[in-house]
Amino acid sequence: MKKTLGVALLSVVCVALPVARGAESPLEPKVANSSSTATNASMELDVDYGFAAGSKAHTGGHDLGYVSEQNAGLKYVVSPELSKDLLLRAGFEWERFSFGLPGNAPLPNTLQQISAVLGLDYQIDEHWLMRAELTPGLYSDFQDLSWCDVDAPLILGGSYLVDADLQWFLGLRVDLRSRYWIAPAAGVRWKFADEWTLNLLFPNPRLEYELNKRVQLYLGGRVLAGTYRLADNFGTSHGIDPRTNQAMLDFLELRAGPGVSWKVLPNLTVEAEVGCMLYREFEFSDPHMFVRSNNPAPYAQISCHAAF
């Protein structure tokens, strides 16, 4: 299963990859095509909420009962133009996972991230766009907050625009606190027919069908993942190995299902999807221990993206 988690973390890199100028994707933010304010700055706002029903968790062959989940996120980024080919990215991001746990589960009730977003987009030429993005902030269960909860993952990415219908993406994610501290990734967006687009841009790869100019149907997947610091007395308070006090925890969840995307306004898109939570894993760094849920459970997700 180490390979499975490694692949998933590779895929998460692509979430921060830039979309090349001129790409006619209805869902991705466009660096050059976004409308700008009088100060030549574009803005992006993403809000999402999801719920996954209970799935049986186990560790070391022992059943722990059913674990349900709520996830929510908010990201705001403003991109002022520093020069014709260079944009600054500055903003903030919040993400929270809340778990419904049975009494004997050796798991945190909450995993949460609050971070700044600091980065640059650079247009090398008409085909290449590069991005560097740092997200320093707090990544933990938000118990006993201290400098130990601070992390600053770095993402380096690039996109290559073949034409308006085909773009390739490359990236590298570095997080020194993760068990998988460096991870390369690749992706592609290919509009292979008038109504059909293969969008293998993780963490939400999907096959899209354009019903009309405002409504799009899709079938795809969703990867949720992150690395978090646990409380000073986490192991002691849960009656497990005290080495899990202040341990690092890698979280992974895989989802798949159909959805619909509705462009409510030219700059506002709302998406809704339902499907199955296929796999969930909590991996402790020390001692090396897993809690897994591999029984499918239904989930629902709603998201909103605005670009100005």
DSSP structure class, residue 230: P
Cα dihedral 16, 229, 250, 113, rounded to 10, equals -30
What was the pLDDT predicted at 17?
Answer: 55
pTM: 0.87
Residue-wise pLDDT for 221-275, tens only, equals: 999 999 999 999 999 998 888 989 999 999 999 999 999 999 999 999 999 999 9
Q: Alpha-carbon distance 110 to 127, whole Å?
A: 42
Residue-wise pLDDT for 208-227, tens only, equals: 999 999 999 999 999 999 99
Of 115, 111, 94, 53, the C-alpha closest to 231 is 111
On the CB side of 87, CA atoms within 13 Å amount to 24
Residue-wise pLDDT for 130-164, tens only, equals: 999 999 999 999 998 999 999 999 999 999 999 99
Q: Alpha-carbon distance 32 to 23, whole Å?
A: 10
Of 46, 66, 70, the C-alpha closest to 58 is 66
Q: Alpha-carbon distance 295 to 280, whole Å?
A: 9
Phi, psi for residue 140 in degrees, rounded to 5: -165, -170
Domain around 17:
2-307
- Average pLDDT on 63-88 reads 96
How many domains is the chain partitioned into structurally?
Answer: 1
| Residue 276 vs residues 55, 116, 168, 259, 270: alpha-carbon distances, Å | 11, 31, 28, 12, 20
